Amino acid sequence: MNHVLIRIPLTVDDFHALAGYYTAGPSMAAIYGFVSHLEREASQDFAVTFEKFGFLLDTYAARLGEQVKTSYDVLPKAKQAGDTVISGYRYASLTGSLYILMPADGFTTEDINHVLDLLARAVNRARFQGGHIRNMLTANPADKQSITFTPVTSPDDVVARLLNTTDNAVERKSAKLYLSKHLPDACDKDTLLDAFAEHLAEYKYVLVCNGYVEVGEVLDSAGQPHAVAEPCFTLAELMPLSALPQLTYSEQAAIVSRFFWTFDEELCAKDPRYLTLK
């Protein structure tokens, strides 16, 4: 099946970066939600399917936000010793590129350009993991901040697009690919911690939130049940784009398969409580 690879450049300020200890960068689960929102917005005139997505991180800077006081933090005055107990929150800013793989069979170039126009409007109205998307996007390929597409039929085409040096959509060679480690059992905490401990000294590995697991339910004021979920984490490898040309074709194909993330239907079918990516 023929596909098009859509590139969306992103400059995001002050997104919510606290998804758990030792995490770094955006939440893959949040990006999946962002992509799902864009898919709905792009399907106004005809059905559009976003099959997979990948993320290329250029710059990332985290900071502690304002100190947040809650009712659980405030101790009785008689028991206070010094400052009131407070909890911090982490915010971050980034620049990067979101890549979306879309089946192109049955679509004309005019159709795809229309999808890009809808995507530009949707992104300009959206927020990214609670953060503000600072760059104003267009669907005009002549603009530096434009959403573009490239026809792809093989991993070689994807690699060529990532290494593109011919137009405005040029990636910096220091940018890092977010690669799934494809852990054999990414939702098993012991397996995850063992894998992370093994690579803890290597800066190229990070923990990322890749979804949620339902752990129970609560009742609202009307007595209606609502699911309660906890975040799940997996291990990701950050590979500089500059390393890609040094690999063999088979190695590049393996990198492309790890670059694209998708919903883990197999795990969900085995245990519906898990809503995760792989």
Between 22 and 189, whose confidence is greater?
A: 189
Say which range, 21-30, 119-128, 137-146, 242-251, has the weakest mean pLDDT: 21-30
The residue-averaged pLDDT of 198-202 equals 68
249 vs 82: CA distance, rounded Å: 62
**Position 207: which residue type?**
L
Secondary structure letter of residue 77 according to DSSP: G
- pLDDT tier for residue 189 given thresholds of 50, 70 and 90: low
CATH number for the domain that contains residue 174: 3.30.70
Average pLDDT over residues 216-241: 86
The pTM assigned to this predicted structure is 0.86
Q: Please, what is the average pLDDT of the chain?
A: 84
Assign 184 a pLDDT band (cuts: 50, 70, 90): low
Cα 189 to its chain centre, rounded Å, is 21
Confidence of residue 22 (pLDDT cuts 50, 70, 90): low
Kindly state the helix (H) or strand (E) to which residue 126 belongs, with its residue range. none
- Cα–Cα dist 92/17, whole Å: 6
136: confidence class by pLDDT, cuts 50, 70, 90: very high
In Å, what is the CA distance from 29 to each residue of 35, 95, 184? 10, 18, 19
Strand, coil or helix: 92: strand
77 in any annotated domain: no
84 assigned to some structural domain:
no
Let me know if residue 73 belongs to a domain: no
159 belongs to a structural domain: yes
Task: Count structural domains, the chain.
Answer: 1
Distances (CA, A) of 58 to 11, 129, 164, 180, 240: 10, 17, 15, 17, 9
* DSSP secondary structure letter of residue 73: T
Q: Find the domain containing 186 and state its range.
A: 3-67+89-276
Confidence of residue 86 (pLDDT cuts 50, 70, 90): very low
Is residue 204 one of the residues assigned to a domain? Answer: yes
Task: Give the residue with greater pLDDT, 250 vs 16.
Answer: 250
Share of the chain above pLDDT 70, in %: 82
Of the ranges 3-7, 41-45, 186-190, 218-222, which one carries the lowest mean pLDDT score? Answer: 186-190
Give Cβ neighbours of residue 39 (< 8 Å, ≥ 6 apart).
48, 49, 50
Q: Classify residue 74: in a domain, yes or no.
A: no
For residue 71, is pLDDT > 70?
Answer: no
Q: Is the pLDDT of residue 1 over 70?
A: no
Q: Which residues contact 34 (CB under 8 A, 6 or more apart)?
A: 98, 126, 128, 129
